[in-house]
Amino acid sequence: MPNAQPPTTLESGAPGGPLETRWSRHKADLKLVGPTNRRKFSVIVVGTGLAGASAAATLAEQGYNVKAFTFHDSPRRAHSVAAQGGINAAKNYQNDNDSTFRLYYDTIKGGDFRGRESNTYRLAEVSANIIDQAVAQGVPFAREYGGTLANRTFGGVLVSRTFYARGQTGQQLLLGAYSSLNRMVDTGKVELHTRKEMHDLIVVDGKARGIVVRDLKTGKFEAHMAHAVVLGTGGYANVFYLSTNAMNCNVTAAWRAHKRGAFMANPCYTQIHPTCIPQHGDYQSKLTLMSESLRNDGRVWVPRNPADAGKSPEQIAAADRYYYLEEKYPTFGNMVPRDVASRNAKYVCDDGLGVGATKRAVYLDFADAIRRDGEDTIRSKYGNLFHMYAKITGDNPYKTPMRIYPAPHYTMGGLWVDYNLMSNLPGLFVIGEANFSDHGANRLGASALMQGLADGYFVLPYTIAGYLAGELHATVPSADCDEAKAAIDDSKNAIQSLFDVKGSRSVESFHRELGLLMLDKVGVSRNREGLEHAIGRIREIRDEFKQNVRIPGDPNMVNPEIEKAGRVADFLEFAECKALDALTREESAGGHFREEHQTPEGEAKRDDENFCHVTAWEYSGDVTAPVEHRESLEFEYVKLTQRSYK
Ligand SMILES: Cc1cc2nc3c(=O)[nH]c(=O)nc-3n(C[C@H](O)[C@H](O)[C@H](O)COP(=O)(O)OP(=O)(O)OC[C@H]3O[C@@H](n4cnc5c(N)ncnc54)[C@H](O)[C@@H]3O)c2cc1C
């Protein structure tokens, strides 16, 4: 339960006044660090995905001394590489009446009016610069016949603003950011540390001054110090065990920073993506995304009668097919936002209309698109996705509809940051999916790449200067200061005590049990009883983990089980905070659907009077009793309405 103290108020520091000039006025007010002084500063960047790599490269290019860390063997392995569908930008290349304001509006509405207005507008504003930057780096975006960049549509919008590189947009963007990063490694301005995992944040006199890392090849712990620390360590969807994320994505860096004082904001906001290959076995460890871009041409349906659910799709006549998204939401049809599409897939499966062996799947059918445009056109747009689907399922999606079902995918919550992307801990900045971000309670498709690169290329490099300018005369503590030594000891002891349990259950089995519980009780829909049950069970699983986990091998060498154990230990604590946040938020908003709060049509029903705020949790020293803080959300440029995609 939350700590009994009444919630205190957090200030975002976002500027007021006309929306369209807020960022430029703020930039003009930010202090600068002169070029000759920049070389006196060091900045640690943890994470080399799109957010971290773009930030590290840009800061180094500006002249700061950057130390970049990743637990991967190469920055190119960051989970950003998996992004398929595209990246949004308000370029209006299709001349379909897009604009910065429209991208801002779609994002605020898509997030069910739980995002911060100034941040969301800034995101829309800098989106155009990202495309220019990426094109200049040579990112091979898809082009029209005449050479102009192509666009497609993603959910929750009525324009085409998504730039893409076939189904490999994240990989191509990451190659761009990685090239920039490597260029700076070559100049000596970036010191790149691969296979090093952050285990703790070092706080000295109330400021973030360093990190503790474990060298994954030797098991040794080291402290690294700097004037500021930037976390770009990704999201926490793997708390559900089965998700579309890479299997080593985790919450560790953010959670350890939280335990050193950084607030965790809106952890209950998770995106369950509607189009994933359904789970097919109990011992599966990963789910595969089928990009939302497929909904541009694929039609979602289930049999209208439960009696037909066992038939193969071609045996079901057109009149007996229930195109439920097109029927319920005629304006947006199959392109409704992800939270709406996922909930509706669950509803039809709950009603016995689900297809496939498990009856927890719906069809995504390309027959009409292939008839209309030809198989070659569909192949040129989605060839690699169709290939991936065929490899995994053994079905040919050119001939028979894909079967899809929602799966945990993205996390809108994360460490709380102000308008400058600085956490409540001075000197700790958080970017990309790791921060609680600009997306409110639901993220629109193709907006995560946009946000990660906006943060890394165009926001943090300005705002961090505002902080560093005040640190010109500060001395960075040495790596053997008391605080660093104590943090190293804490990390060593935490690993050793897990290793010493020598119980009988594998780390994986605890993770799987936690994930199933989270999916069932803290997943697509939640209710009070389920959330209370989840909190009780999480505590029991956590207790058993401490008494019965078995970690084979040696802690002082390469040992993936130790790595996993530390991450699962953090998920077991974080999960409680997430469930508590969901319990406390007595409304439905975007991806947070409380069954007690819904409209008669089954849509999310917000409570703007009582919950138009960000909830940020402070670690109190006891994971079962965090302290609640709130940042109230003000909207001057949109009217808060019941979100409708009909
Ligand atoms: C399958 C899939 C498809 C997607 N498709 C799209 C799409 O088409 N469009 C879109 O906009 N979004 C998409 N997304 C979302 C998007 O890819 C992510 O939100 C985004 O790439 C996250 O970038 P990031 O830099 O914040 O984090 P990541 O790319 O996850 O990078 C995190 C980095 O932090 C490092 N790290 C983490 N913890 C530690 C630690 N403790 N110590 C050291 N290093 C650490 C990792 O090694 C890595 O380098 C997709 C997501 C998935 C799962």
Q: What is the pLDDT of residues 361-370, one digit of tens each?
A: 999 999 999 9
Q: Tell me, what's the pLDDT at 8?
A: 85
**β-pairing, 402-411 with 270-276?**
antiparallel
* Residue 122's pLDDT band (cuts 50, 70, 90): very high
Could you tell me where in the chain the CATH 3.90.700.10 domains are found? 273-409
pLDDT of 494 strictly over 70: yes
Rounded Cα–Cα distance for residues 75 and 55 (Å): 13
Tens digits of per-residue pLDDT, 593-616?
Answer: 999 999 998 899 999 999 999 999
CB 60 within 8 A of CB 41: no
- Please give the full DSSP string across 265-293, using - where no structure is assigned: E-TT-EEEEEEEPPP--TT-----B--GG
**β-pairing, 190-193 with 221-225?**
unpaired
Rounded Cα–Cα distance for residues 64 and 461 (Å): 10
pLDDT of 391 strictly over 70: yes
Rounded Cα–Cα distance for residues 265 and 499 (Å): 31
Atom 44 of ligand 1: nearest residue by CA position: 70
Phi, psi of 191 (to 5 degrees): -100, 110
pLDDT of 3 strictly over 70: no
Paired tokens of 597: 């709060």
* Mean pLDDT score, 31-45: 98
pLDDT of 2 strictly over 70: no
End-to-end CA distance of the chain: 39
Residue 403 is inside which H or E element, if any?
A: strand 402-411
> Ligand 1: which of 433, 438, 562 to mutate, most ligand atoms within 8 Å of CB?
433
Q: Tell me, what's the pLDDT at 23?
A: 98
Is CATH 3.30.300.30 correct for 482-632? no
pLDDT of 283 strictly over 90: no
pLDDT of 417 strictly over 90: yes
Please give the single-letter amino acid code of residue 608. D
Phi, psi of 213 (to 5 degrees): -125, 155
pLDDT of 460 strictly over 90: yes
Rounded Cα–Cα distance for residues 624 and 571 (Å): 14
Nearest one of 230, 233, 217, 106 to 161, comparing CA atoms: 106
86 lines ligand 1 (CB under 6 A): yes
Q: Tell me, what's the pLDDT at 472?
A: 95
What residues pair up with 242 in beta bridges, in sequence order? none
Contacts of the segment 343-351: beta carbons below 8 A, 24+ positions apart: 343/524, 343/525, 343/593, 343/602, 345/274, 345/300, 345/404, 345/405, 345/406, 346/406, 346/524, 346/525, 347/602, 348/302, 348/322, 348/324, 349/302, 349/405, 351/306
* Residue 326 neighbours by CB distance under 10 Å: 15
CB 527 within 8 A of CB 539: no
Tens digits of per-residue pLDDT, 513-543?
Answer: 999 999 999 999 999 999 999 999 999 999 9
Q: Which CATH architecture has domain 273-409?
A: Alpha-Beta Complex (3.90)
408 lines ligand 1 (CB under 6 A): no
% residues pLDDT > 90 (the chain): 92
- Which atom of ligand 1 is nearest to 448's Cα? 11
pLDDT of 551 strictly over 80: yes
Q: Tell me, what's the pLDDT at 137?
A: 95
Q: Is the pTM of this model over 0.85?
A: yes
338 is known as an active-site residue: yes
* Mean pLDDT score, 488-503: 96
* Mean pLDDT score, 490-499: 95
Tens digits of per-residue pLDDT, 158-204?
Answer: 999 999 998 899 999 999 999 999 999 999 999 999 999 999 999 99
CB 215 within 8 A of CB 195: yes
167 lines ligand 1 (CB under 6 A): no
CB neighbours of 117 closer than 8 A, spacing ≥ 6?
Answer: 14, 19, 108, 633, 634, 635, 636, 637, 638
Using the mean position of ligand 1's atoms as its centre, give its distance from the Cα of residue 532 in Å. Answer: 31
Annotated catalytic residue within 166, 338, 403, 542: 338
CB neighbours of 173 closer than 8 A, spacing ≥ 6?
Answer: 50, 80, 83, 87, 134, 139, 165, 449, 453
pLDDT of 4 strictly over 80: no
pLDDT of 1 strictly over 80: no
CB 365 within 8 A of CB 301: yes
In terms of residues, how long is the chain? 646
Tens digits of per-residue pLDDT, 47-101?
Answer: 999 999 999 999 999 999 999 999 999 999 999 999 988 999 999 999 999 999 9
Could you tell me where in the chain the CATH 1.20.58.100 domains are found? 482-632
